[in-house]
Amino acid sequence: MQTLVDVKEVYSTEGLSLWYDKKQALKDVNVSIFEKQVTAIIGPSGCGKSTFLKTLNRMVELEPKITIKGRISYRGNNLYDKHYPVEQLRHRVGMVFQKANPFPKSIYNNIAFGPRLRGIKNKQLLNEIVERSLKQAALWDEVRDKLNQDANRLSGGQQQRLCLARCLAVDPDVILMDEPTSALDPIATAKVEELVHQLKQQYSIIIVTHNMEQAKRVSDQTAFFLNGELIEQRKTSELFAKPFHKETADYISGRFG
Amino acid sequence: MKSQITNRMATVLISVCAGLMALIMIALVGYIFYQGLGHVTWHFLTTVASTFQVGGGIKDQLWNSFYLLIVTMIFTTPLGIAGGIYLSEYAKPNRVTGFIRSCVEVLASLPSIVVGLFGMLVFVNTFHWGYSILSGAVALTIFNLPVIVRVTEDALRSVPVALKEASFGLGVGQWYTIKNVLLPAAFPGILTGIILSAGRVFGESAALLFTAGLTSPDLDFKNWSPFAFDSPLNPLRSAETLSVHIYSVNTVAIVKDAPQVAAASAAVLALFVLIFNLSARGLGAWIQKRMSGKS
Ligand SMILES: Nc1ncnc2c1ncn2[C@@H]1O[C@H](COP(=O)(O)OP(=O)(O)OP(=O)(O)O)[C@@H](O)[C@H]1O
Ligand SMILES: [Mg+2]
């Protein structure tokens, strides 16, 4: 049983439902995300994985005509409280997108962007943050000599690690990753996975993936979604070894999706 | 097979159209330069116009054109960019926004003579600004503002959504995102649009006939007090611009060399508009290159 170990909940959702206009994308979802663990979100295309992820940092509100019901608490506070400071939330909850999206700026300025916003002007301190973040994202050795180069000239895998470094630079608590390796080759993918493994010492990570093997390799917990519903969420090893539900068994054995 | 033939025919047709356009443009500009450039001398550019003597120049008109352009751009650029930012980033997609957008479009397509007459009724007569730089600049603003609004809105909209998401995802607020991510990315497009519209403003005549006027005082280029009636800077004096000058020389002038003066003025005007257009392209590309490297 999970509760034997003393793990803290970072997120928990209760009866979370979400509609895009009239189309329901999440149905009564109850999930717990634990501190300093990697939670994998799996499920067939269109089942609401990205939508769920975006509710956690309220990025989903950028879409027009959204209706949300239910409750998400992040560290004990209700996220969808009207007065919840969204911008602070997004500092604490970083996001890495499916397609790397570096700013059309230099590598240095990509990383320094967030810290600068938070008022850090000291050159020395910025340098330290940039170096530390790039090291954490295992990119430092590849770019240390070209920090002033346009970030868009990096390779796809490097760009994705740059985006990770950019989000680490604002010192987050949780990192959300939406299929971060789907556009990468196996070597770059392995690098990112290795990183996820290391980063969970410090951060709680939620990763959406289409790749069962990846979920098995990197995650502690796995949540399986189908048609907007959470079918089951358990320890990864248990879920893959003996799923409770037939749908889960079918999906992980590759019978659909 | 059939689709290949259609394809080839379409390609030929398109190339012919494009070629024709280039040809017309080269012929037109070539003719204007051929007719006019011969008379463009340093003397011509630095002598005042004359209504009854041979040998008049376009010194004051040239100055007026630039002065009016600058004043107009000072009015339109900040307002237009602000409007474009509002429409692309803040306005909710509803009826009111749609209405504002239609207004901008209608304004952009108003015939300039209509704007000119409106300017005469409102600014010249009702506001008692008279035929003046101010009346002219405000009329040109009406005519140029919608262009800059559109250019800014389009440039901002063409910035990839992923960049906006990246910025919001870092907890960056909307204004900071606009200022530090969207505007820099849209800047080359906006700048190109502004310079192109400057070319249009520079060559405009119909909107100015009844607002900035058909005459200007003999400017005293030693007196830069904006309050003196013959100061180049006085915003309340009348100001005949280069393109209005071409019009008036062709219609009312009685000097013997009127055709030459008109041709030379037209060549100068065309030259500047051409410079605006070419620099818009060059500058846009250059900045794009620079910005992606540094910043
Ligand atoms: N902006 C939107 N407007 C309307 N419907 C949307 C929007 N975004 C997603 N949807 C719908 O919501 C459902 C869930 O989409 P979501 O992107 O969360 O799926 P996903 O599990 O991430 O899929 P994929 O694996 O393909 O990325 C889909 O049916 C999709 O069509
Ligand atoms: Mg998705």
Confirm if B137 and A137 have CB atoms less than 8 A apart: no
Q: By CA distance, what is A88's nearest residue in B?
A: B171
Closest ligand 1 atom to residue A179 Cα is 27
User: Is B160's Cβ below 8 Å from some Cβ in A?
Assistant: yes
Show Cβ contacts of residue A198 under 8 Å, excluding neighbours closer than 6 positions: none
Question: What proportion of chain A, given as a percentage, has pLDDT over 70?
Answer: 96
Verify that B30 and B165 share a domain, yes or no.
Answer: no
Q: Which residue has the tokens 């140029």?
A: B144
What's the average model confidence in pLDDT over B256-271? 92
pLDDT tops 70 at residue A1: no
So what's the pLDDT on residue B291?
67
| Average confidence score pLDDT of chain A | 91
**Domain of residue A51, CATH code:** 3.40.50.300
Contact A90 B169 (CB under 8 A): yes
Verify that B117 and B33 share a domain, yes or no.
Answer: no
What tens digit of pLDDT does each residue of A13-35 get?
A: 999 999 999 999 999 999 999 99
Letter string b/e over residues B61-98, b meaning 16 or more CB atoms within 10 A of that residue's CB: bbbbbebbbebbbebbbeebbebbbebbbebeeeeeee
**Domain of residue B247, CATH code:** 1.10.3720.10
Q: Is the CB of A22 under 6 A from ligand 1?
A: no
Question: What proportion of chain B, given as a percentage, has pLDDT over 90?
Answer: 73
A132 found inside a domain: yes
Pocket probe for ligand 1: among A45, A47, A224, the residue whose CB has the most ligand atoms within 8 Å is A47
Specify which residues A14 forms β-bridges with: A71
Nearest of A71, A62, A224 to residue B177 by alpha carbon: A62
Nearest of B291, B213, B16 to residue A152 by alpha carbon: B291
Contact A95 B167 (CB under 8 A): no
Verify that B81 and B33 share a domain, yes or no.
Answer: no
Verify that B46 and B35 share a domain, yes or no.
Answer: no
What tens digit of pLDDT does each residue of B50-87 get?
A: 877 888 889 999 999 999 999 999 999 999 999 999 99
Sheet strands (E) in A30-170: 32-34, 38-42, 66-74, 77-78, 93-96
Nearest-angstrom CA–CA distance, B205 and B251:
14
User: Is B169's Cβ below 8 Å from some Cβ in A?
Assistant: yes
Contact B170 A89 (CB under 8 A): no
Residue ID of nearest Cα to ligand 1 atom 11: A25
Verify that B34 and B47 share a domain, yes or no.
Answer: no
Verify that B35 and B46 share a domain, yes or no.
Answer: no
Q: Determine the structural domain holding residue A85 and report its residue range.
A: 9-252
Confidence of residue A238 (pLDDT cuts 50, 70, 90): very high
Query: Six-digit token pair at A146?
Result: 């070209």
A3 found inside a domain: no
Q: How far apart are the first and last CA of chain A?
A: 29
Q: What one-character-per-residue DSSP string does A149-195 give?
A: SBGGGS-HHHHHHHHHHHHHTT--SEEEEESTTTTS-HHHHHHHHHH
A2 found inside a domain: no
A1 found inside a domain: no
Count Cβ atoms within 10 A of the Cβ of residue B123 and give its class: 0-12 exposed, 13-18 middle, 19 or more buried: buried
B residues 203-232 closer than 8 Å to A (CB): none
Backbone angles phi, psi at A177, to 5 degrees: -130, 125
Verify that B10 and B128 share a domain, yes or no.
Answer: no
Q: Is the CB of A51 under 6 A from ligand 1?
A: yes
Q: Determine the structural domain holding residue B136 and report its residue range.
A: 42-292
Verify that B24 and B129 share a domain, yes or no.
Answer: no
Nearest of B218, B205, B209, B256 to residue B53 by alpha carbon: B256
A4 found inside a domain: no
Q: Is the ipTM of this complex over 0.85?
A: yes
Nearest-angstrom CA–CA distance, A251 and A230:
13
Q: H or E stretch including A25?
A: strand A23-29
Q: Which segment of A109-123, A224-238, B179-193, B250-264 scores lowest on mean pLDDT?
A: B250-264
So what's the pLDDT on residue A18?
96
Verify that B22 and B66 share a domain, yes or no.
Answer: no
Verify that B213 and B172 share a domain, yes or no.
Answer: yes
A118 found inside a domain: yes
What's the average model confidence in pLDDT over B135-154? 95
- Show contacts of A230-237: CB within 8 Å, 24+ apart: A230/A29, A230/A30, A230/A31, A231/A43, A233/A31, A233/A32, A235/A2, A236/A40
A87 CB neighbours in chain B (<8 A) are 171-173
Residue ID of nearest Cα to ligand 1 atom 7: A20
Nearest ligand for residue A227 CA: 1
Confidence of residue B295 (pLDDT cuts 50, 70, 90): very low
Query: Mutate which of B89, B90, B92, B170 to test chain A, going by most A C-beta atoms within 10 A?
Result: B170
Number of domains in chain A: 1
Number of domains in chain B: 2
Contact B292 A117 (CB under 8 A): no
Nearest-angstrom CA–CA distance, A70 and A136:
36
Q: Measured in whole angstroms, how far is the alpha carbon of residue B271 from the centre of its chain?
A: 14
Q: Which segment of A5-9, B145-149, B163-167, B197-201 scores lowest on mean pLDDT?
A: A5-9
Contact B163 A91 (CB under 8 A): no
Q: Which segment of A233-237, B40-44, B53-57, B154-158 scores lowest on mean pLDDT?
A: B53-57
Verify that B26 and B67 share a domain, yes or no.
Answer: no
Verify that B21 and B106 share a domain, yes or no.
Answer: no
